[in-house]
A and B are shown apart, each in its own frame.
Chain A
Amino acid sequence: MTTADLILLDHAVAVLCIVAWFAAGVTASLRRAGLALVLLAVALLVALAKAGTVAVLAGRGWWFVQEKVLLGLPMLAVAALAAAVIAGPRLRARTKGAGRQDEVDAASVVVLLTAAFAAVAGFVVTFLVGHPLTLRTAAITIALVVAGALLTARVLDAETAGEPDAAGEPDPAGAPDAEPRRPELSRRRFLGVAGGVVVVGAAGTGVGLSVWPAAPATDLGGGPDPTSGAATPVTGLRGVDAPAPGGVRREHVLTARKATVRLESGRDIDAWTFNGTVPGTPITATQGDLIEVKLVNHDIDGAVTLHWHGYDVPCGEDGAPGVTQDAVPPGGEFVYRFRADQVGTYWYHTHHASHIGVRKGLYGTLVVRPREEQAAGRLDLTLPVHTFDGTATITGGAEHVAPAGTEVRLRLVNTDSDPHRVALAGTSFRVAAVDGRDLEGPGEISGTGLHLPAGGRYDLVFAMPDTSVALVLDDHAATVRVRPRADAPDEDPRAQDTMGWPELDLLTYGTPVPVALRTEAADRHFTLVLDRGVAMVDGSPAYAQTVNGRGHPSIPDQLVTEGDVVRFTVVNRSLETHPWHLHGHPVLILSRDGKTSSGSPLWVDTFDVRPGEVWEVAFRASNPGIWMNHCHNLPHAHEGMMLQLRYDGVSTPFGGMHHAVGADHHDS
């Protein structure tokens, strides 16, 4: 059973638990003692089952159960035990005819409903707060449950005391005989006062802790404190101004403007474009060239920047608004300059209000080829995948002809916020590169689907067979076909059921090669628990996408020192996929769910952490700066899942992420 399945099962048992306890309480209040007794037994069994699912889930990692083990379960256990001890014997006595059958047994109803409140509270804490549980949350939760119990007791007190049912149905209990009740009333009063003290005390503690100073603004990851002293501003971390020997200067102007763009399907869309096209002008270079791009914002409301996704540019060229530069407003411009030292398939996109800008078309491809490559006799296609108005498309797709034997390279770029499934039908192939970086010894595969994370890239290579080959996106949402001759028929239709193919696991693909980073002790280790929960995002409360229970810009910065070996443990507690993306550095995948990566070293800039998964990755802090570290599902980043990784001794004059995020809020 996968961890995600377990999380779902645990939720299901939690809901069942709530239903069972409420059912027991309500039947007791309807004076159906026999049924209530049965439901009490059922509720106790479900509560036990809940303890079981939590125990199993705990085996997958403490992050998945912390709030359940420390608060939800103990609260439920106490309430359930009280219900069993108090309501159990009373209900049994009633089924045997003891007591006044026509009167509601208030004590039983109160304890049963309190158990229900405890079950609800545990579930709500899991959903709304998640990881990590704070003392504040625990105190307020307990206060609410006890307050619920008191309120229930008060209501029942009024009803059983014979107040006429206001609905016009006279209370069958009839006139109250106050005399024999007196001792019970005073006991109730005592319990009421005691409960009130608990409520006020717990709520007071919770609120008191809320106004306590918040968590430190910096996470040291177990490393040394920051040094004091002169800091280098990110504006000083710019790219070189000359190509490598033999390289050329490649100058581009990218003008961000609104335009109506005709898709290959023939549909017109109102897009935001670079130079009037979507994707924007493709940028290509040969290793060692100097890339110089002047970004001009013609009429994009708000602002734009250029982020070179996966390209490890100097920090000042990174295009993070408010961190490495001011966002470029309409009429403004900014020049990016960096040397194309890294070979491979990359892309660029705006990083300002990117959840809107990228979706509307502010992106393009960046491909750097090695110096020695022979272009002749090859088919090299760059294929950005993008969803317009709910329709997934592959730009530059459609039909191509390549004679049998031609070496074909398909460079897939996922520019969406959701993953795509890609399959190549009609040939065996190799995944030569992932996120621009070549794999070691990638083997020939066929009949295997590929999971392409948001923001990720795969280079697929194959020798053209003498029959047609089809690249299939998702369930035939889009298709790119390469034919050996213009009149060649489509590929074998038997190869078309690509959705049923198994998925390639890149962690076991290719040849392992020793990498020092894999075994080096980490200087700093950061844990990122991804979840949903109520948190402040941009200064207002939201049901946010959270990292360690917080949303940007309140997530502590991660501090590193140049030269550090840094590890991330990324845990996904939520039911959504989170493509994790660190700017400025590729990360080496160490393991997923405790299973060590056993294939080719896998260096990526975006890795999909699917529900319930735990990934360990490492990188060397070798590119000083202040770098965004976020979920590349861009709406998720906007909803809080974004923080920054800061090098010791680097500062920003741009007001920081807070400023940037505030600005982007106004535009969206």
Chain B
Amino acid sequence: MSSVAGSGAGPVGETINGMKKLFTGLATLLLIAVVVQFYLAASGAFDSAPIEEAFQPHRLLGYSILALAIVSTLVAAIARMPGRMIGLAGLAAGLVLAQSLIREVAKAFGEGSSAGHYVFGVHAVNGLIIVGVLGMIVRRSRQISWKPAESNRMVS
């Protein structure tokens, strides 16, 4: 079971390498999406429409990011990225899910209550942590996905 899937050799290896690159691509896309997400949050905050409507794009992109993060984790697992990488991708997915949870918890304290505001502030901090984790994933996965291929080329 384990002997076939060496990185870089044979058709299975090719597919695996392709998956690794796909993962790197997904992680980069996620990072960009999260940056856009910050922009949407800020523009929503200064929109005069009611909150539900002003943050509609932010919310939609948020759900998309969650779906993408889960897909990325699965791709990482299928591509046999190192366990730590899969763990990081899973962590990113978890942190994205936490963004919704923070919102729900803050809302549960009641609209406009100060405790709710304080809890909701964590949403922004968590957003920064997500950027950090994704940045780490992108940097490391680029090394993993391209280095062996380059070395292969140099050898041949």
Contacts and interface: CB of A to CB of B under 8 A. Distances in A.
B148 A166 contact: yes
Interface stretch (B27-35, B99-107, B127-135): B99-107
A613 interface: no
Contact of B50 (A11, A159, A359): A359
A15 B101 contact: yes
A348 B110 CA distance: 29
B82 A167 contact: yes
A558 interface: no
A159 B82 contact: yes
A151 B111 CA distance: 42
Contacts of A167: 82, 84-85, 140, 143-144
A189 B77 CA distance: 18
A11 B147 CA distance: 43
A390 B147 contact: no
Nearest to B51: A390
Contacts of A389: 48
A18 B2 CA distance: 30
A159 B83 contact: yes
Given A15-B101, A189-B1, A166 B52 contact: no
Contacts of B90: 22
A104 B144 CA distance: 21
Contact of A158 (B2, B50, B85, B144): B2
Contact of B83 (A15, A29, A188, A635): A29
A17 to B, nearest CB: 13
A122 B80 CA distance: 27
Contacts of B82: 159, 165-167
Contacts of A359: 50
A26 B1 contact: no
A31 to B, nearest CB: 11
Contacts of A155: 77, 80, 83, 86
Contacts of A176: 2
Contacts of B147: 168
B5 A4 contact: no
Contacts of A418: 111
B56 to A, nearest CB: 10
Interface in B1-42: 1-3, 5-7, 20
B104 A575 contact: yes
Interface in B75-109: 77-78, 80-87, 90, 94, 101, 104-105, 107-108
B105 A156 contact: no
Interface in B121-154: 140, 143-144, 147-148
Nearest to A638: B52
B2 A26 contact: no
A161 interface: yes
B74 interface: yes
Contacts of B86: 155
Interface residues of A, number: 39
Contacts of A162: 2
Interface string A144-167: 000000011011111101110111
Interface in A188-208: 188-189
A162 B2 CA distance: 9
B101 A157 contact: no
Nearest to B48: A389
Interface in A329-354: none
A488 interface: no
A390 B50 CA distance: 6
A18 B3 CA distance: 34
A4 B94 CA distance: 25
A8 interface: yes
B108 A151 contact: no
A185 interface: yes
B2 A157 contact: yes
A4 B108 contact: yes
Contacts of B140: 167
A22 B1 CA distance: 26
A654 interface: no
B80 A151 contact: no
A77 to B, nearest CB: 23
A450 to B, nearest CB: 17
Contacts of B144: 166-167
B81 A158 contact: no
A156 B1 contact: no
A29 B2 CA distance: 19
Nearest to A176: B2
A635 B87 CA distance: 38
A543 interface: yes
B52 to A, nearest CB: 5
B2 A635 contact: no
B70 to A, nearest CB: 10
A1 to B, nearest CB: 14
B108 A8 contact: yes
A538 B52 CA distance: 19
Contacts of B107: 575-576
Contacts of A18: 94
A185 B1 contact: yes
Nearest to B140: A167
B87 to A, nearest CB: 6
A29 B84 CA distance: 9
Contact of B5 (A8, A158, A189, A611): A158
Contacts of B83: 29, 104, 155-156, 159
Given A158-B5, A163-B6, A575-B104, A151 B143 contact: no
A40 B98 CA distance: 23
B6 A151 contact: no
B61 to A, nearest CB: 13
A403 B11 CA distance: 94
A168 B140 CA distance: 10
A418 B51 CA distance: 12
Nearest to B141: A167
A191 B99 CA distance: 36
Contacts of B77: 151-152, 154-155
Nearest to B147: A168
A158 B76 CA distance: 13
B109 to A, nearest CB: 10
B6 A575 contact: no
A53 B108 CA distance: 18
A150 B104 CA distance: 32
Given A157-B2, A418-B111, A635-B53, 15 more contacts: A15-B101, A29-B83, A151-B78, A152-B77, A157-B1, A163-B2, A166-B7, A166-B20, A166-B148, A167-B82, A168-B143, A176-B2, A390-B48, A390-B50, A543-B63
Interface of A: 4, 8, 11, 15, 18, 22, 26, 29, 104, 151-152, 154-159, 161-163, 165-168, 176, 185, 188-189, 359, 387, 389-390, 418, 475, 543, 575-576, 611, 635
Interface of B: 1-3, 5-7, 20, 48, 50, 52-53, 63, 74, 77-78, 80-87, 90, 94, 101, 104-105, 107-108, 111-112, 140, 143-144, 147-148
Ranked nearest first, the 3 interchain pairs of A and B with the lowest CB-CB distance are A161-B2, A166-B144, A151-B77
23 contacts: A8-B108, A11-B104, A18-B94, A29-B87, A151-B77, A152-B77, A154-B77, A155-B77, A157-B1, A158-B80, A161-B2, A165-B82, A166-B20, A167-B84, A167-B140, A167-B143, A167-B144, A176-B2, A188-B1, A389-B48, A575-B108, A611-B108, A635-B50
